[in-house]
Amino acid sequence: MSAYRSHFIDRLGEDELGQNLKVAGWVGRIRDLGGITFIDLRDGRGTVQVVVDPARVSGASDLRMEYCVSVEGVLRLRPEGTENPDLATGSYEVEAQSLQVLSRAAPLPFMIDDRSHSEEQVRLRHRYLDLRRPRMAANLRARSKGISAIRRTLDQLGFLDVETPTLVNSTPEGARDFLVPSRLQPGHFYALPQSPQLFKQLLMVAGVERYYQIARCYRDEDTRADRQVEFTQLDLEGSFWEREDVFSTIEQVMAAVVRDLRGTELPLPLPRITYQESLARYGTDKPDLRFGMEIADLSGAFAETGFRGFAGVLESGGAVRGINIGNRNFSRARLDGLVEQTKQLGAAGLVWVVVKESAGWRSPVAKFLQSSEIAQVNHRLGAQSGDVLLLVADQATLASAVLGAFRLELGRPDRHDEIRFVWVVDFPVFETTDQGDLVPSHHPFTAPVSVQEMRHTPEKAVAQAYDLVLNGSELGSGSVRIHDPETQRTVFEILGISDEEAQSRFGWFLEALGYGTPPHAGFAVGIDRLVAILQNETSIREVIPFPKTQAGSDPMTTAPTRVADIQLEELGLDINAETKAALSQDDDPDSSHPKSE
Ligand code: ASP
């Protein structure tokens, strides 16, 4: 295969027994047992035990962890009883005949194995070592496999992989842009794309009927646990398409990825739920369908109630909603803790109930309720003796949101093997901000179900927009697009974007829409999150080769860094006095070291 190796380690098996072969990789654990040295040798794909007899092979005593070596030897079965069932090659070992050190390694900042838990800061500082760990190497392989399944599927379906620029104008996803100053036109800036949204729509105008791209996107958002300022999307778009065309394409892509990464068949079509139903039954637009514990509306059971706590809420248009969290044996203190938590979540209060053997209730409110009310709630929630029921009376969406939070906290399964996709459909066109402004709930290029309805009651209008959710995480979103300039102008108008502003920001795009634009629709899937979930990783950083920390910096290269004054001058830029003052405070002789976060 090469001068250094004849076999990759994961290829060693039955057929290679007794063969003279060469393996190359890095030295893991070294054990010296009665004059014989055992080495775990790891390459990019696997680990195998190498046995070195120092009497016959020189060099073993000089070895240190992570030395890069090539070993020539014979594959043999390990003596009975010494097999390692945790290792794919655990029944074999290589009996070394010669050993060549290809390069030495300095003392390590952390152990290269899956058992050690080093601080992320340290891992990222030496990401090249971190990526040698089997788990990280497997994540990289899975990512590559996933992307190749995506490409294969879309290539077969006749999609064109088209690149779009990364130095662009401000784009419309609603986050803050990363700006890049132009040297050739001082005082002017490019933005890095938040997504290729407008370019992919232009490709539809251009007659590219099926487009996709594994696209890098940039959003200058504040720190959030599972977000990166730079991330990767599968971006796609199709002409003469409606929602169903998007769904069937994305479903085929997801099935291929799941098949290649998990070895299982994804049952298609994927289930669907409307946005409103999802909010009511799960308290969120990202429902985790791996478990039940659905929220029920109990308002009907209390329509005539004499209990003021509920009656008052119902009279003012609110709702009583509840979940059954099952047989829990919670202490009184634990139950009171849930009441406290409810208040922190912004609702007025929580009623807890423990169902007695008689089907009656142990609850602070039991004495105010009729037995018929109790019976109806028991029935709606499928209550059994010992079950704990949680009831919230408040404005309907808030009541569901609180119960949705408890549902996740108390019900989310520990098992990791299950994958449950769901489409969430019929999102609203707009959302209302705390200040009372309308903003797009997806982006402003999303088609409403009815233009008429959008004109008259924009805050209620339903969009042809949808999300794909996996195990309670939003995996992607998309929509049918507006394809006529008139409707597009109406949306800008409702958003309070004046004609002049629309013209100056999106004039080029509105003009393009005027040249026979086909109806089109599309979608984007977050690849980092998809791979993370399928690899059972809780953080997307574990599947991104070189991620940033939560503060958006790279402890290895120390990006972002300051630049020389001359570079700023060339760009016609200056750092303002306030920032300069803050920088000089930070200045220490060691400023090339990563900032602490
Ligand atoms: N551009 C959108 C996003 O990045 C996806 C889409 O509508 O296709 O979320």
Could you write out the three-class secondary structure of 124-165?
HHCHHHHCCCHHHHHHHHHHHHHHHHHHHHHHHCCCEECCCC
428 lines ligand 1 (CB under 6 A): no
- One-letter amino acid identity for 132? R
H or E stretch including 204? helix 197-205
pLDDT at position 271: 98
Q: Indicate whether residue 201 lines ligand 1 (CB < 6 A).
A: no
Strands 210-218 and 230-239, by their bridges, are: antiparallel
Which ligand 1 atom sits nearest the alpha carbon of residue 445?
Answer: 7
| pTM, 2 dp | 0.93
- The shares of helix, strand and coil residues in the chain, as percent rounded to the nearest 5, are 35, 25, 45
CB 71 within 8 A of CB 25: no
CB 164 near ligand 1, within 6 Å: no
- Give the residue, by CA position, lying nearest to ligand 1 atom 9: 477
In angstroms, the CA 561 to CA 548 distance is 14
| Average pLDDT by stretches of 10, the chain with 597 residues | 93 96 97 91 95 92 95 96 92 97 96 84 95 95 98 98 94 84 95 96 98 96 82 98 98 98 97 98 97 96 95 96 95 94 92 95 96 97 97 96 96 84 98 93 96 96 98 97 96 93 91 97 98 95 94 93 95 95 75 45
Omega before 560 within 30 of 0, i.e. cis:
yes
Closest alpha carbon to 10 in 51, 56, 41, 54 = 41
Task: Report the number of secondary-structure helices (H) and strands (E) in the chain.
Answer: 16, 22
Phi-psi region of 359 (alpha: psi -120 to 50; beta: other; left: phi over 0): left
> What's the gap in Å between 229 CA and the centre of ligand 1?
16
- Residue of 201, 241, 442, 480 to test ligand 1 pocket, by largest number of atoms within 8 Å of CB: 442
What pLDDT was estimated at residue 223? 66
Q: Which of 6, 8, 12 is nearest to 45 (CA)?
A: 8
Q: What is the distance in A from the centroid of ligand 1 to the CA of 160?
A: 18
Which tokens in the block code for residue 9? Answer: 């380690």
For the record, the structure tokens of 351 come out as 């009623």
Q: Is 173 in the pocket of ligand 1 (CB under 6 A)?
A: yes
**CA distance linking residue 373 with residue 363, whole number of Å:** 14
Distance, CA 230 to ligand 1 centroid (Å)? 15
Q: Is the CB of 479 under 6 A from ligand 1?
A: yes
Tokens of 13: 């098996």
CA 79 to chain centre: 45
Ligand 1 contacts CB of residue 245 (under 6 A): no
Q: In what order do the strands lie in the sheet with 421-425?
A: 160-161, 210-218, 230-239, 520-526, 473-480, 465-470, 421-425, 272-274
For a mutational test of ligand 1's pocket, the pick from 164, 170, 173, 474, i.e. the residue with the most ligand atoms closer than 8 A to its C-beta, is 173
Ligand 1 in reach of 524 Cβ (< 6 A): yes
Instruction: Measure 355 CA to ligand 1 centroid, in angstroms.
Output: 47
How much is the pLDDT for 591? 47
Q: What's the token pair of residue 233?
A: 């999307």
Atom of ligand 1 nearest to the CA of 476: 9
- Closest residue (by CA) to atom 4 of ligand 1? 195
Measured from the CA of 196, which atom of ligand 1 is nearest? 1
Ligand 1 atom at minimum distance from 233 CA: 4
Which ligand 1 atom lies nearest to the CA of residue 478? Answer: 7
